[in-house]
Chain A
Amino acid sequence: MKLQEYTQSRANFEECMKCTVCTAYCPVLQVNPLYPGPKQAGPDGERLRLKDPYFFNYALKYCLNCKRCEVACPSGVHVADLIQTARIKYDKSNPKLRDRILASTDFMGKMVRPVAPIANVATGLGITKTVLDATLKIDHRRQFPAYSGRSFEGWLKRRAKEQAAFPEQVAYFHGCYVNYNYPQLGKDLVKVMNALGIGVQLLDKEKCCGIAMITNGMSKEATKHANHNVAVLQKAVDAGLKVVTTSSTCVFTIRDEYPGVLGVDNAAVHDAIFMATRLIYEKLEKGATLKFKADYHKKIAYHTPCHMEKLGWGVFSENLMRMIPGVEFTVLDSACCGIAGTYGFKKENYEASQAIGAPLFAQIQSVNPDIVACDCETCKWQIEMSTGYKVMNPISILAEALAD
């Protein structure tokens, strides 16, 4: 009987048994009555859309793409993939200028970097925020991430020889944030990897993973980036390299969104790209050691980013930080911080974004840690802006705790 095999769709949508579990875990549904919720927007809506595209609902744009519905689904339905693919297939409106700007993270990085000091001052000014709010509908209450004057790529290129001298090598998919906004995270990764006897290389010209394009209606551009990155990763795989990232969203996009949402075949490179914390954990498990400062004392609260939750790899980051002597460690309840990349920057989403994050912010305040640890750059912006607590990537915490 091949019937069941023949009728299985890519996103497993026939497996939905209407149990409603996903609706209990959708962060948007809790704050925005305009959003139809994951069950209605996903498998229920899909059944109708397949009959007639008329049933496509533009309110699907309120989906954060946090994937918490998929983590909760007991039947293996790719609920959020159904929602995002429906947006790609049926939403024929052109993305607004604002959405194009927000989504073009590497293009913006390239343009702004040469004038970073001026841009950083300008985006911090009330007048700029007012103008951006009025003209582009980028909410004036948002803080913009600062741009770095020097790129991470440039920094690592200057050290290519020194890095090549290490007996073992990895390639690093640094992503736009490390390259243009916060090269220090990349430098921290290099420090930790070098301490393990591993040299770090750049890939042969990576591009933005494209997640912001996927969620902003620019799937054609995202597909171009995906094809480019799969080819670049293939080169690394051919050279026998493993590839690491420090951003849970970049690695999630490359592994899961390329095939699941964009339909880009990544099978040959899928298993070669990891979070750096997973690779480090595996090295230590096999006997490698890291030497930590004797006087490092920090109270750390770990926030599992949504895409890390979906990957199921938070356990590696957690265990690494627990290994540092002198760390008092708490895992925060797994909940969306509300920013979801570019989502929270949009004026129409600001209130919902802050309401979604409110329980997390309250818990951070009650734990009152020295540092909030988190593997995602946009969660970092959101938590720092909304709570005032300092947020660090687990890799930066490891680097800070390493003995000199």
Chain B
Amino acid sequence: MKFDTIIIGGGLAGMVAGIALQKAGQKTAIISTGQNALHFFSGTFESLQEPTPRIKELIEEAGIRLHYGQGVRLMPMGTFQPSALCLEDVDIFPDAHFGRRVLIVNFMGYHDFFSSFLSEGLEKQGMECRIRFLNLPEMEQLLQSPSEMRSVQIARTMDRIWEKVVQEIRVLLKDDDTVVLPQVFGLKDPSVPGRIRQGIPAKVVFAGTLPPSVPGVRTQMQLRKRYEVLGGTYLMGDEALEAHVHNGMVHSIVTRNLDSHYLEADNFVLSTGSFFSKGLRSNPERIWEPVFGLDVEYPEDRNGWYSPSFADDQPYMGYGVKTDARLHGVADGEPLKNLYAAGSILGVTHPELGSAAGLAIRSALAVADAILCHSERSEESN
């Protein structure tokens, strides 16, 4: 099977590159070894620069609701972090003191939302907090298997009964000016968080839960749908095993599911993520990139890979594949002319990009532009 571009890795970077290329008229495929890091998405792109109109358009065309502001957002443990471009569910406050009296609402039996940590954190900021638990008959079915009481399971029930939850919260409200709820709303319908805000006569703040992230799963579904509507081929659950490379050009790749049926393309994008997604592999002796064998820079002495203190920034988290200035992947010191790297596999996180999601979007667009610019040039020379 032949494509203009094959993207290896179906997370945020891969899907953004795929959407940009499909929009430009390319025929592309995405190969994704299972689901991706959007399932742990905080709902904020953490890009501290103002998004370009192109980024906003590309994301909003997928039906994803965004907002941009300068400030901080509430973290799941009651701390705050600088933030800028977010999903509509995530609030940005000018500073950490966003209310006076806060009602934190959780569901009976739900342990993946840390209401008491939140309360402690907010009280440190001088806010007065109380915690209440909702016990709804519609959730009895979920309570039958406590080990499965997770965000996405609750969100499926909430998709049906969120209006009832709004009523219950209105009853609980006294003189609170703010309500904090877990991010378990709007799995299918992205308008639900906004409608909940309208229904409650107080400021409503959604705080993160343990994974899977409901806004993240929703974002994944929206981006994939958009990519497929544009005609992209998303090969879910397949894995790129090796590449056929001649004279510095990637010719085709071999995948686990398609074995002897090689996938060919003019250009390839590697957006397989870092260690978690197995974009990088390691053993006690070395760190390597498994598909193309791209060069990875890391200290020879393994003791330098990590800091013995668990909570420190870990150096290995910053490791990535070597690229040239146009993001071509480099193998044995030589750039592969039609292979580009995007997203977390680049390793480096530039301060102006905030973190992984911002890097994913901006590097994916840079790679898409490089591919499109290059194919225009080769068409002209023909």
**A residues touching B (Cβ–Cβ < 8 Å)?**
1, 4, 17, 19-21, 23-25, 29-30, 33-37, 40, 70-76, 271, 278, 282, 285, 309-313, 315, 319, 331, 334
Which of A71, A285, A331: most chain B Cβ within 10 A? A71
Within the complex, the shortest CB–CB distance from A108 to chain B, in Å, comes to 32
**Taking the complex as formed, is B228 at the interface, i.e. its CB lies under 8 A from any CB of chain A?**
yes
A71 CB contacts on chain B under 8 angstroms: 34, 236-237
Nearest neighbor of A311 in chain B, beta-carbon distance: B257
**If A33-B142, A311-B257, A312-B258 touch, does A21 touch B39 (CB 8 Å cutoff)?**
yes
Which residues of A sit under 8 angstroms from B212, Cβ to Cβ? 19-21, 23-24
- Say whether B67 faces chain A, with CB atoms less than 8 Å apart: no
Residues on B with C-beta less than 8 A from A72 are 34-35, 236-237
User: Contacts A315-B1, A315-B235; is A19 near B283 (CB within 8 Å)?
Assistant: no
Enumerate chain A residues within 8 angstroms of B261, measured Cβ to Cβ: 278, 282
Which A residues touch B36, using CB under 8 A? 74
CB contacts (< 8 Å) of A319 on chain B: these are 1
Closest B residue, CB atoms, query A312: B257
Which parts of B177-224 form the interface with A (CB within 8 Å)?
210-212, 217
Q: A23-B212, A71-B236, A315-B233 are in contact. Are A76 and B150 (CB under 8 A)?
A: no
Check if B211 sits within 8 Å of A334, measured CB to CB. no
For A1, give its contact among B148, B150, B153, B284 (CB under 8 Å): B284
Contact B237 A74 (CB under 8 A): no
Number of A-B contacts (CB under 8 A): 98
Q: Tell me the nearest residue of chain A to B238, going by C-beta.
A: A312
Distance, CA A24 to CA B236, complexed state (A): 15
User: What are some 18 contacts across the A-B interface (CB < 8 A)?
Assistant: A1-B283, A19-B40, A23-B152, A23-B153, A24-B39, A24-B217, A33-B141, A36-B147, A71-B237, A72-B35, A74-B35, A74-B277, A312-B238, A312-B255, A312-B258, A313-B257, A319-B1, A334-B236
Q: In whole angstroms, what is the CA distance A228 to B228 when docked?
A: 42
Q: Given known contacts A21-B211, A312-B237, what 18 new A-B pairs fall within 8 Å (CB)?
A: A1-B284, A4-B283, A20-B210, A33-B142, A33-B148, A34-B145, A35-B145, A36-B148, A37-B148, A70-B237, A72-B34, A74-B33, A76-B278, A278-B261, A282-B261, A309-B236, A315-B233, A315-B235
Query: Does any Cβ of A come within 8 Å of B380's Cβ?
Result: no
Q: A1-B285, A74-B277, A313-B257 are in contact. Are A23 and B150 (CB under 8 A)?
A: yes
- Closest chain A residue, CB of each to CB of B32: A74
B209 to chain A, nearest CB (A): 11
Residue pair A40, B148 in contact (C-beta under 8 Å): yes
Contacts of A331 in B (CB 8 A): 228
Considering the complex, give the chain A residue whose CB is closest to the CB of B214: A24
Contacts of B1 in A (CB 8 A): 285, 315, 319
Among A17, A37, A70, A311, contact of B145 (Cβ-Cβ < 8 Å): A37
Q: Does B156 contact A (CB under 8 A)?
A: yes
Q: Report whether B236 and A34 are in contact in the complex, using a CB–CB cutoff of 8 Å.
A: no
The answer, yes or no, to whether B382 is at the interface (CB within 8 Å) is: no
Is there an interface contact between B145 and A73, defined as CB atoms closer than 8 Å? no
B306 at the interface (CB under 8 A from A): no
Let me know if B235 and A312 touch, CB within 8 A.
yes
B260 CB-CB contact with A under 8 Å: yes
Bound form: Cα–Cα A35–B212 in Å: 19
B contact residues around A35 at 8 Å (CB): 145
**Given A29-B153, A74-B34, A334-B236: A40 touches B147 (CB 8 Å cut-off):** yes
For residue B239, CB closer than 8 A to chain A, the reply is yes
Whether A21 touches B35, Cβ cut-off 8 Å, given contacts A278-B261, A310-B237, is yes
When distances are taken between beta carbons in the complex, the residues of chain A under 8 Å from B147 are 36-37, 40
B260 and A271 contact, CB distance less than 8 A? yes
Contacts of A313 in B (CB 8 A): 257-258
